[in-house]
Amino acid sequence: MSGAEEKTPGKWGDLPARMGSAAVMMVVGAAAIWAGGIWFHELVALICGGMIWEFSRFMAPEKQRFALPMGLLAGCVIAATDVLPGQMIVPALLAVAIVGTSQVKKDRLIYGAYAAGLILASYGLIVVRDVRGAYWIVWLVSVVVATDVAGYFVGRIVGGPKFWPKVSPKKTWSGTAGGWVAAAVVGMIFGGPTLIVLSVLTAFASQMGDAAESALKRRARIKDSSNLIPGHGGLLDRFDAMMGAALFVLLLGSVLGLPAV
């Protein structure tokens, strides 16, 4: 086998690394969801801090020294939601995005909006776990994972027209639709017909979360947000879809409420 052939990963070349990393994340995530309380809150805080760190690094490469303090600030504020008065939580979360916005030289509106979305979505995960219980957070995670896995395999096997080539060149319509079908199945399993539509909408929100991160990376001309997770890139690469779904569920639950199952 030639050197060129050895370096070519092929269509499924990243699958072993992706599966290994996914298995570790699944075990850690499942343990935190089951334990709930401070264990789940701290895991979310760590992930949120890591995502803000990655985002700050590639949005302001000329001023990367502020990325680590921003990540620490975001993680600490998420952790502090346990003790903050209810009326202070959202202002405190948004304050993190405002602080970051003041530090970047360009694309300040983009930075502020996306950072605020990440932080609110992270808090949304905590709200879903604490208020609705483990059943709903497992549903949410299952929708996102099923959408991602189905999209990956259906897109690779079936192929076809691209979903949004300027933003995410690898995503196809077949993979996108496959994700919706998988999400509908998850909804049927967890709540019957009541949850099917909500599951599909949540799947679409997760895909938009993935697309938004892809657009930001293309703007920054990078492939991965970092190299923290083998086969997946960075935390933001892995949890971008979850953030889109969590933000959608948080907003929907706040405005209309979630159905009883």
pLDDT digits (tens, 9 = 90+) for 11-62: 555 667 667 777 888 899 999 999 999 999 999 999 999 999 999 998 887 7
pLDDT digits (tens, 9 = 90+) for 219-247: 888 888 888 877 667 899 989 999 999 99
pLDDT digits (tens, 9 = 90+) for 179-194: 999 999 999 999 988 8
Measured CA to CA in angstroms, residue 39 lies from 18, 36, 131, 156 at distances of 25, 6, 16, 36
Residue 65 is classified by DSSP as G
Give the separation between CA 156 and CA 229, rounded to whole angstroms.
22
Give the separation between CA 241 and CA 247, rounded to whole angstroms.
10
Closest CA to 180 of 220, 212, 143, 152: 143
Give the separation between CA 49 and CA 54, rounded to whole angstroms.
9
Element (H, E) at 183: helix 173-191
Domain spans of the chain?
A: 14-255
